[in-house]
Structure 1
């Protein structure tokens, strides 16, 4: 198969980025809706903050368990096919959540929803790797993953008034409909993979099992855990904090939450560009950024005014968001394309374990002590991320050496 023209390759990248941006936007919006409806669920079903945290954790438990199977499915059956099935099934369970009538039913539906969404991240990363060159991959992924922050802006602005007007169930019905729309767009317009042009890294025999035995991949998973502990511990409880501690309406809380989310969107894009320019070397970004994040988290936790909380929380979000693309840069450039599904699933798994474990812990700390203690505890996530950034390989060659593959790969065969 002849190589595509530069113009055709750029078009493939642009369309892929646009479609994955839309898919991730819906993915993240569907997750964020639960944070906005927690006060309503607590009131309707008489739930403590600990029980509300369990609703969030039910999603992340299934989401975490589905990561590695999702990567295996993407490697075996194709990333595009798995992406489409994920969009279809998670949209269905999002809609069904709107019919929940008890705490137990909410737990079951959120678990099923998490399993459906859990196969998506490794498939989406594999879709991107198949349609981009290594030198543009993190910048492209930064644009795609800025969708998470954009969803953090749009979801509270659009969904909070919807909840106020029509009730919490309407939020799930509307986001499910959006998921179906994106499903159709991906089905119709996702381009075919580009011919492989980069050298093939030396790979280990054994496929998925070999990747799962790579200790270095699990260290990157721990790095993602530290990052995600801050993101999910903070974002889950900010709307409830604003309502409980400052007496603002849910719509106003949604507007205030949008401020740090908008700043985070730019930071994620910047982090992707920095990663491409550095060729990895994530400690240069993560260690100083997490030091700043730690200081800002403490200032946020003990801010005496609503303005201070928003300002310091926004600065913390920017510092943390700069680290997202650097976490992924080295694994995605060091793994062979046929290993990306499972390998990226292991890395992402660390984030989902954090999403499962941290929200109920933060909620329990808020119940037992205060929101101040709960938010201050998130500094531990910054410490974990900084330490793991120092303990992981800093470029693709050293990553391959750590996996037992050759750091000096032979040229790849031309794609057929």
Structure 2
């Protein structure tokens, strides 16, 4: 395959970024909707906070279980195909959630929805790797993943008023429709992959299944667990906390949480650019940012005013969001393209386990003690992320050495 022109390569990267941004935006919006409707679900189905947390966890259980199979499917059958199937199936189950009539049905539908979305992250990361150069990958991924924070801004602003007027079921029908629109766009416009530029690896090195046995990859997964414990433990319960503690309506809460979400969007993009500039070296970002986040989370937990809660919460969101791209940088740069599906699935899996475990734990702590104790407990997530940042390779070369995936040496030149 002949090398594409620089202009053609840039166009491939731009289109890929736009399409994956849209897909991740819908993916994350579909997940955030449940946070907004939890009070309505609690009232309609007489659910405790612990049971409401289980509705969230049912999604993350399936999401976590589907990560590695999703990576294997992407490596075997192609990232584009798996991405399209994920978009289609999760949109169907999002719509079906709007038809739920009991707590048990909610759990089943959220589990099925989580399985459909769970195969998407490794496929989407592989789509990106196939269509970007290593030196631009984290900046591109930072732009794409800022969609999560943008969804955090738009979802409450758009969906909360919809819920207030038409009820909680309308939220799921509307986001399902957006998923279908994005599915069509990806199907029609996703560019073909760029020619491979990464060095070939020795055939005796770990293959896709062998990646699962690499302890170093699981340390990155643990780092992602710490990051996501804060994100999901905090974001899941903020609307409920604002309503109970300050009497804030759902619509107003949606507008208020847009502020830290927008700040996190900018921090995610900045984190990607910083990561590319540092060539990895996530320790330089994760350790200081998670230290700052731990202090800020304590200030959030024990703030005595709404203004203080929002100010410290916004700063904590920025500190945590700066860490997201650095956590992914070294594995995505160090793994060979044929290993990216499974390898990225392992890393992302840590985040999904956090999403499965932490919301009900935080809800149970709030029930047993207070939201102050519940939010303060998230400091443990910052400690885990910082510790793993100190125990992992800091660049692609040292990652390959540690995992036995070093590139083949260049062939010897013929003597003249």
Taking structure 1 as the reference length, the TM-score comes to 0.98
Q: Which residue of 2 aligns with 1:385?
A: 385
Say whether the 8 Å CA contact 1:243–1:249 is kept in structure 2. Answer: yes
Say whether the 8 Å CA contact 1:199–1:409 is kept in structure 2. Answer: no
Say whether the 8 Å CA contact 1:202–1:400 is kept in structure 2. Answer: no
Q: Which residue of 1 aligns with 2:171?
A: 171
CA deviation string 1:324-380 (max 9, x = no partner): 000000000000000000000000000000000000000000000000000000000
- C-alpha separation in 1, matches of 2:202 and 2:37: 48
CA deviation string 1:271-304 (max 9, x = no partner): 0000000000000000000010001100001110
Say whether the 8 Å CA contact 1:203–1:336 is kept in structure 2. Answer: no
Aligned CA distance change for structure 1 residues 43 and 8 (closer, same or farther; 3 Å)? same
Q: Which residue of 1 aligns with 2:288?
A: 288
Aligned CA distance change for structure 1 residues 316 and 102 (closer, same or farther; 3 Å)? same
Q: Which residue of 2 aligns with 1:162?
A: 162
Q: Which residue of 1 aligns with 2:255?
A: 255
Say whether the 8 Å CA contact 1:398–1:407 is kept in structure 2. Answer: no
Q: Which residue of 1 aligns with 2:191?
A: 191
Say whether the 8 Å CA contact 1:200–1:410 is kept in structure 2. Answer: no
Per-residue deviation at 1:410? 3.9
Q: Which residue of 2 aligns with 1:242?
A: 242
- C-alpha separation in 2, matches of 1:408 and 1:77: 26
- Other structure's SS at 2:135 match: helix
Aligned CA distance change for structure 1 residues 340 and 42 (closer, same or farther; 3 Å)? same
- C-alpha separation in 2, matches of 1:203 and 1:367: 54
Taking structure 2 as the reference length, the TM-score comes to 0.98
RMSD: 1.0
Say whether the 8 Å CA contact 1:202–1:410 is kept in structure 2. Answer: no
- C-alpha separation in 2, matches of 1:68 and 1:164: 38
After the TM superposition, which residues 2-401 of structure 1 pair with which residues of structure 2 at under 5 Å, given as runs? 2-202=2-202, 204-205=204-205, 207-401=207-401
In structure 2, stretches of 5+ residues that fail to align are 412-416
Per-residue deviation at 1:204? 4.7
- C-alpha separation in 1, matches of 2:280 and 2:327: 9
Per-residue deviation at 1:203? 6.0
Aligned CA distance change for structure 1 residues 217 and 410 (closer, same or farther; 3 Å)? farther
Aligned CA distance change for structure 1 residues 129 and 250 (closer, same or farther; 3 Å)? same
Say whether the 8 Å CA contact 1:202–1:409 is kept in structure 2. Answer: no
Per-residue deviation at 1:405? 2.5
- C-alpha separation in 2, matches of 1:131 and 1:365: 44
CA deviation string 1:106-125 (max 9, x = no partner): 00000000000000000000
Per-residue deviation at 1:407? 5.9
- C-alpha separation in 2, matches of 1:263 and 1:408: 43
- C-alpha separation in 1, matches of 2:25 and 2:35: 16
- C-alpha separation in 1, matches of 2:338 and 2:351: 22
CA deviation string 1:56-93 (max 9, x = no partner): 00000000000000000000000000000000000000
CA deviation string 1:96-149 (max 9, x = no partner): 000000000000000000000000000000000000000000000000000000
- Other structure's SS at 1:105 match: helix
Say whether the 8 Å CA contact 1:204–1:404 is kept in structure 2. Answer: no
- C-alpha separation in 1, matches of 2:360 and 2:92: 26
Per-residue deviation at 1:174? 0.1
